[in-house]
Amino acid sequence: MYHCAGCGAVLFKSDGKYESNAPGLVGWPSFSEVAKDGAVELRDDDSFGMHRTEVICKNCGGHLGHLFDDQESKTGKHFCINSCALGFKKQDV
């Protein structure tokens, strides 16, 4: 399970993680879905002269990364998350 580094809320699961080959996004943790609905908040981000969708922790408002469309993803969504914003905890299922 991947937790918010700020507040510890569960954000993503390992099985939502995938390898993306999208240009410029290689090496970033990529997720196709959030662990549960409402875990993150999406916000329009027009900084740096381009339009993107910002991904924010619903619980503490911490910046996590950005959301892109990606055909490689099983959901068509690509959550590109800053690894510094996540804590990883192994959890037995």
Per the residue annotation, which of 4, 7, 80, 84 is the catalytic one?
A: 80
**Residue 76 CB, nearest distance to Zn ion (Å)?**
25
**Residue 67 CB, nearest distance to Zn ion (Å)?**
16
Residue 4 interacts with Zn ion (CB under 5 A): yes or no: yes
Residue 57 is a catalytic residue: no
Give 47's contacts (C-beta < 8 A, 6+ positions apart). none
From the list 8-16, 20-28, 33-41, 82-90, the region that binds Zn ion by CB under 5 A is: 8-16
Give whole-number Cα distances, 1 to 48, 52, 73, 91, in Å: 32, 26, 19, 6
In 10 A of CB 5, how many CB atoms? Answer: 18
Q: Which of residues 50-89 bind Zn ion (CB under 5 A)?
A: 57, 59-60, 62
Give whole-number Cα distances, 16 to 9, 45, 62, in Å: 16, 24, 20
Q: Kindly list the residues in this chain that would bind Zn ion in the complex (CB under 5 A).
A: 4, 6-7, 9, 57, 59-60, 62
